[in-house]
Amino acid sequence: MRGWIRLLLGLAGLLVADGEAAAASCRYRPGAPEAGLLVRATVLAPDKVLEHGEVRVDAGGTITCVGHCRAPGAAVLDCDGAVLSPGFINPHDHIAYAHVPPLPDRGERYAHRHEWRFGTHGHTRLETFGPTHDPRVVGWGELRFLAGGTTAIVGGAMAPGLTRNLDFADGLEGLPIRPVTYTIFPLDDLGGIERVGDCDYGPHPTSRAEVAASSAFLAHVAEGRDAAAENEFRCESSTRFDPVRHPDGGGPSQDWLLPQATLIHAVGLSPADLALVAERHASLVWSPRSNLALYGATIDIATALRLGINVALGADWLPTGSMDMNRELACARSYSRAQLGGQISDRMLWLMATRNAARATRTEAWLGSIAPGHLADLVLFDRPAGQAAVTAAVLSTPRSTLLVL
């Protein structure tokens, strides 16, 4: 099913859209099924751009050659002028809310996520809607991502046969890993607990042993810009911060900041906190559109990158985030240019959506790069004349997405 969906998307992209022909032209020559496929295009390889490059994919869907490849008997897809990229990986979504339209921006900004979840501290409650796990609804959400070149998602729900769902065993589609662990309330604070100076949250916070036993652990941390948000990070990165077991079951503080940990949002982290993340070789997921819409602020991304932290990009959800990774890339690029003087290059943004996201989900041995031995989760983007290849990927839209493999 997944293959047919992707084929249909590719055919739709290669046809003339709204009367406008794509800049790239693709020619297809059939071959023997057992001989695989040879793709010719400008290839975004991990460390270089290969103009007039070739990628050979075997019949099992694995990349076997990058560069100039011999492929006797293989089908050939020759896309002069197109850009071949790894499929985007979205490591942060709530796809069960794909039926909720984007919320209007009324100008109200929050200091902590529980304020908009519950309407506390005099704020307006936003979350007046609920999720659905109906695969028909979730499937439309996944299809929206797939149409723009996203091939893998961590989203808390799944529909069979579309994107890879890295947090579900049934959604890995042959990926030889255990599903990643994805948690929204690692402090057991679903009910809206906010603390400053101690860790008296729920009685079942995430432990170091849980994170150590996971293939990858992605958790919402410090989603907000106040002291209560930063307090969450303190309670998850130091056993000395609050060693007390509180009477109602909260505490003590934990320390699960391990290399397989990825912190989602992390808006409330200080430069010193980010330095600890870097020291522990943990990762971050940056969701600028949703952060700016809800909090009027986002993570100190310039410091995070300067410290060498692995930063991935995530769309968050439809109500306040991006409808696809293409729009999240556009938001991140706009933020970099408007607020950071363009410090974040197009190449770095592209890496955030591909290789870095694979590293954050611990799937970098199979996904996120065009390299021999990796799975052929690939996307072809149209490329306007004179535009850098990596910029074509960063500025891509569903309309400029020619083919998803």
% the chain with pLDDT above 70: 94
Distance CA 79, CA 363 (A): 28
More confident residue, 14 or 328: 328
- At 2 the pLDDT is 45
Tens-digit pLDDT profile for residues 17-44: 333 445 667 999 999 999 999 999 999 9
Mean pLDDT for 295-323 is: 98
Q: Around 246, how many Cα atoms within 13 Å sit in the side-chain half-sphere?
A: 17
pLDDT at 15 over 90: no
Report domain extents, the chain: 2-86+370-404, 88-360
Closest CA to 83 of 155, 22, 12: 22
- DSSP code of 97? G
Q: What's the one-letter identity of residue 381?
A: F
CATH says 2-86+370-404 is which class? mainly beta
pLDDT at residue 14 in the model: 46
Task: Write out pLDDT tens, residues 161-214.
Answer: 999 999 999 999 999 999 999 999 999 999 999 999 999 999 999 999 999 999
Instruction: Convert the pLDDT of each residue in 366-375 to its tens digit.
Output: 999 999 999 9
Distances (CA, A) of 84 to 2, 60, 61, 263, 365: 20, 19, 16, 30, 19
Shortest CA distance to 79 belongs to which of 38, 39, 127, 51?
39
Residue 236's contacts (CB-CB under 8 Å, 6 or more residues apart) are 186, 187, 205, 206, 219, 221, 253, 254, 255, 256, 257
Q: What integer pLDDT is reported at residue 17 of this predicted model?
A: 37
pLDDT at position 371: 98
Of 210, 256, 218, give the one whose Cα is nearest residue 234.
256
pLDDT at 280: 99
CATH number for domain 88-360, candidates 3.40.50.2000, 3.20.20.140, 3.90.550.10, 3.40.50.720: 3.20.20.140
Q: Is the distance from CB of 332 to CB of 24 less than 8 angstroms?
A: no
The pLDDT score that the predictor gives to residue 248 is 82
Contact present, 246 and 187 (Cβ < 8 Å): no
Instruction: Please report, as a single letter, which amino acid is at residue 328.
Output: E
Q: Is the pLDDT of residue 8 over 70?
A: no
CA atoms of 17 and 10, how far apart (whole Å): 12
Closest CA to 58 of 38, 87, 84, 86: 38
Cβ partners under 8 Å of residue 132, min gap 6 = 96, 99, 138
Give me the pLDDT at residue 100, please: 96
Residue 144: the pLDDT is: 97
Determine phi and psi for 68, rounding to 5 degrees.
Answer: -120, 115
What mean pLDDT comes out for the span 305-326?
A: 98
- Percent of the chain predicted with pLDDT > 90: 92
DSSP-derived pairing of the beta strands 63-67 and 49-57:
antiparallel
Could you give the CA distance from residue 78 to residue 163 in angstroms, rounded to a whole number? 25
